[in-house]
Chain A
């Protein structure tokens, strides 16, 4: 069987490795429009922030393709699919025959049609990232257009490089698709504290030499303008080939398009009315598609969405239906804006269907897993946000400890036994240890035994 993969980004490269792991012999050819090896797009904001070097985000070693007998064609765009003859046709005229074709063409950055927009740099690819970094080197002020996840990460990254940054956002609060109003505001306050000026409810009308002009005429000064205005699935070749396309290329639970020999995965695919813009669903889809192509019975049933902001000193996780109100769901909320903390749980039928966690929190992992698994929640909702808060404090004070309390775990010695030993004449830790073997194991109970002996001496007025 001959497999052609169109697109060598996060979805396409994942599919290739999943496929090769399942079938060591299938002929695999992968075309990538970018001229470099696949990289982890999720980590681009680290590159922009300067915490990772570009070579640290590569997903595949250069020797991998030869070692695994995969032909990878870089810098070559598949522009046409000839379904009649079963060929993928590239912009440089290559016709590659396929038995199965997988579309993993991803998305393009949306560039708003405003005057001067060519002066701005979209933030989408590694090459974009390198252009922005080069420009940031001699820029004095930056503007980022778009207050979604990527725009915020870009703004934070540039501010971290010491550049004054203004973030322009059309909606009334940041990340309005993932966050409620208050969370968006708290996030804005946190970012402001890190040197990012936030302007919400504003519309960029033109990009000029000296900055961005807003609707109403105000000029926000900048000599570097970065665009993070969202993405649009790349569906051109699919549509042209007559495949069913809505917002993305429509696929079924096998990730198959309406042509059974063509699959689509990742950001170019639309499953059950949803086009996913995150990597986790793309990788889940790659695994399912590889399994189906290999003859397996895997099915894709949609993904639960967890958005995790990657920006230094800003901890944010948002998942599921975060905006449901009290009339539709049980909502548990804790807000402490002075500390940049906002936590919200959205619960329906006793299960976690959405959450926002802003500010550092030890419960983020647990809550993400509860959301992912859809398991029943405990009755104590507050305990979900503040685990252990309701637990009874353990009495390690010798006066409060019951006689049955085990003091030395290693030798199974209770407070009562230590008391009995004291009453029989042992007046110090050495005496207690000799009689009961308390403290002779791991040694961590020594302080507790000392405390009990001291307290007994004090109680009984014995001088030590």
Chain B
């Protein structure tokens, strides 16, 4: 039985937000055990990252004093300095000269406070966050199809009851292993250029050329229509726009798609037959399909497929996006995104501005409009029209942004970089001022997981002396700029509830007490008596007429194709033992032992052609930069593609910052590179 010193909380890493109990051990360590009341991992599962999460608190690399140009200083000194510099830069160059960059790992309270801080205390439109690099394409596609983006609009436990689940660019075995337990029942169809660990569990693996998932989705929908597998009753009753999509698909017959994707027609047919033949099926997309300059359209194509089969908004079936970061879902709902206000409101919607301005005690016309998206923001830093100061929270863009060397250069051109971090990340190293902040088990706050379930992370241990919360930093700076901000998570959450009231992501009926008592609460939850909404689309979609929208989309090639100089596709992704930019996990010994170094995965045929043996150091270069990695030879990858994980410095020096027109997602998942043995 848990003792009185036991704290129920959640894992610090991915969007699954596994429940865990934390108990201090004699000798200073922490005992972590899985909770059984949180459905994501109720079976008692955790991956190695979760089990070793306690070491984040004790790994000895913690920052414990603010750094001003590398020198430890008092908090007040650092806050005073930053506030005076921000005021000076604003006075000279205007409010948009100060930018804010947030993260999908921040709690809802922090994301909310950060968005308010930017709009109210700084008056800047220049705020965005690394979630733009995560699920923004899926969010955009869901919004235009369903009128609402709630990653998975159903509880994760529903998946186990399905007959078939299609995973498009989703590799949960590597990114969130306990998720796979929910998929042990259904037949899995996996779309991935690599035979990932998830693909190895699949009943059918479709292995397309990188950058062609959109064509594949169109080919599959073409077959659904050609083979008369459309759920006509559903399409007539619950959707709009089908006719136009049907016509748009006549040019995507499967033999043409086969030539583009490399996926045999008979495999496409096998996949759609399986999806159509069953009572219950899900289509899920992940970063593999989404992180493209056409990611939004790719997701729309998969949603079209799901709609034609009659899946979304039916109990036991549906479409969902498998969000990545810990608070990837909540982080996009409460205003740290350039075009959003709390409650998943649009910043260009007059009614939304009026509501939020009232909560914040400002005039609607004083709120800035939409600002630059994440990469555009980073790309503009230190330019004539761009921001001259940047405040960074919970992000490490030198590792995680595309064309990373260029991004580092832009950051170098700033007048002022302020970073809030737990450890000296690669970006914090470049900062003029670094604030040491609390993490995960040292603070409380809410997280909204990939199901849209709002969860409570509770403080389990005291933070080290000298460390303060991001909320303290925000409130401290706001105070110096003449604004009073709450720094207590519970108080901030109460304000967030009011600000979100009436919005799509309505949290107004959610309280810390309810979350604790109900194993989380699904939004929207518009009142104290409301039970929350596990499956929001059962009766109608969140569009004006309640119908889901088919959106006609067309395939086009990747922004950069292979050629004689750069003849190989590069695709990037994750390994189990590392998380995101690795700032946390690269400091934990067992994780470093499991995944010690960056590698480049090559097919034996490609390795033979390039004269590369396993373990060789290879140089991988693109038009944007180059890096070195250790060669791994594997039959699991296509022979025209090299795979590299992005948790280390290097992979993102190569990636292409071509942006999706709608979501402004960079094209992380495909670019052209040259691979050579390093002599």
Taking CB atoms, residues of chain B closer than 8 Å to A60 are 247
Taking CB atoms, residues of chain B closer than 8 Å to A412 are 48, 577, 590, 593-594
B250 pairs with A57, CB closer than 8 A: yes
A443 pairs with B184, CB closer than 8 A: yes
Given A368-B259, A388-B635, A378 and B177 touching (CB < 8 A)? Answer: no
247-304 of chain B: CB within 8 A of chain A:
247, 250-251, 253, 255-256, 258-259, 261-267
Binary interface encoding of chain B residues 77-89 relative to chain A, with 1 for a CB under 8 A from any of its CBs, else 0: 0000000000000
27-62 of chain A: CB within 8 A of chain B:
39-40, 42-43, 46, 51-52, 56-61
Taking CB atoms, residues of chain B closer than 8 Å to A410 are 47-48, 173, 177, 576
A379 is an interface residue with CB less than 8 A from chain B:
yes
A360 pairs with B266, CB closer than 8 A: yes
B608 pairs with A378, CB closer than 8 A: yes
Q: How many A residues touch B, CB cutoff 8 Å?
A: 49
A364 pairs with B258, CB closer than 8 A: yes
B639 is an interface residue with CB less than 8 A from chain A:
yes
**How many Å lie between the Cα of A380 and that of B251 in the bound state?**
36
Which of A310, A369, A443 interacts with B181 by CB under 8 Å? A443
Taking CB atoms, residues of chain A closer than 8 Å to B180 are 442-444
A441 pairs with B259, CB closer than 8 A: no
A391 is an interface residue with CB less than 8 A from chain B:
yes
Binary interface encoding of chain B residues 34-65 relative to chain A, with 1 for a CB under 8 A from any of its CBs, else 0: 10000000011111100100000000000000
Which of A56, A379, A444 interacts with B226 by CB under 8 Å? A56
B263 pairs with A365, CB closer than 8 A: yes
**How many Å lie between the Cα of A57 and that of B247 in the bound state?**
7
**How many Å lie between the Cα of A60 and that of B247 in the bound state?**
6
**How many Å lie between the Cα of A306 and that of B260 in the bound state?**
12
Interface of B is mostly: helix
Taking CB atoms, residues of chain B closer than 8 Å to A388 are 635
Which of B45, B209, B567, B608 interacts with A443 by CB under 8 Å? B45
A46 pairs with B226, CB closer than 8 A: yes
Taking CB atoms, residues of chain B closer than 8 Å to A310 are 253, 255
- B647: shortest Cβ distance to chain A, in Å? 15
Closest chain B residue, CB of each to CB of A58: B247
A315 is an interface residue with CB less than 8 A from chain B:
yes
Closest chain B residue, CB of each to CB of A59: B250
Binary interface encoding of chain A residues 358-401 relative to chain B, with 1 for a CB under 8 A from any of its CBs, else 0: 00111111101100110110111001000110010000000000
Taking CB atoms, residues of chain A closer than 8 Å to B227 are 51
Closest chain B residue, CB of each to CB of A310: B255
Which of A40, A378, A409 interacts with B639 by CB under 8 Å? A378
**Most chain-A CB neighbours within 10 Å: which of B226, B264, B593?**
B264
Given A61-B244, A441-B45, A364 and B639 touching (CB < 8 A)? Answer: no
A366 pairs with B576, CB closer than 8 A: no
B247 pairs with A368, CB closer than 8 A: no
Given A60-B247, A391-B635, A409-B197, A441 and B46 touching (CB < 8 A)? Answer: yes
Given A360-B266, A376-B609, A441 and B255 touching (CB < 8 A)? Answer: no
Interface residue range, chain B: 35 or more
56-92 of chain A: CB within 8 A of chain B:
56-61
Taking CB atoms, residues of chain B closer than 8 Å to A308 are 255, 258-259, 265
Taking CB atoms, residues of chain B closer than 8 Å to A40 are 250-251, 253
B258 pairs with A411, CB closer than 8 A: no
A437 is an interface residue with CB less than 8 A from chain B:
yes
**How many Å lie between the Cα of A372 and that of B262 in the bound state?**
11
- B54: shortest Cβ distance to chain A, in Å? 13
B243 is an interface residue with CB less than 8 A from chain A:
yes
B605 is an interface residue with CB less than 8 A from chain A:
yes
B414 is an interface residue with CB less than 8 A from chain A:
no
Which of A279, A315, A375, A442 interacts with B173 by CB under 8 Å? A442
Taking CB atoms, residues of chain B closer than 8 Å to A361 are 264
B624 is an interface residue with CB less than 8 A from chain A:
no
Taking CB atoms, residues of chain A closer than 8 Å to B605 are 378, 380, 383
290-316 of chain A: CB within 8 A of chain B:
306, 308, 310, 315
- A174: shortest Cβ distance to chain B, in Å? 18
Q: Which residues of A contact B (CB under 8 A)?
A: 39-40, 42-43, 46, 51-52, 56-61, 279-280, 306, 308, 310, 315, 360-366, 368-369, 372-373, 375-376, 378-380, 383, 387-388, 391, 409-412, 437, 440-444
List 18 A-B residue pairs with CB atoms under 8 Å apart, sorted by A's residue number. Answer: A42-B256, A51-B227, A59-B250, A61-B247, A279-B256, A280-B256, A306-B259, A308-B258, A310-B253, A369-B209, A369-B640, A375-B567, A378-B604, A441-B46, A441-B177, A442-B172, A442-B177, A442-B197
Q: Which residues of B contact A (CB under 8 A)?
A: 34, 43-48, 51, 172-173, 177-181, 184, 197, 201, 209, 225-228, 243-244, 246-247, 250-251, 253, 255-256, 258-259, 261-267, 562, 567, 576-577, 590, 593-594, 604-605, 608-609, 635, 638-640
A-B contact sample (7 more), CB < 8 A, given A375-B567, A441-B178: A40-B251, A42-B255, A43-B253, A366-B262, A412-B594, A441-B47, A443-B180
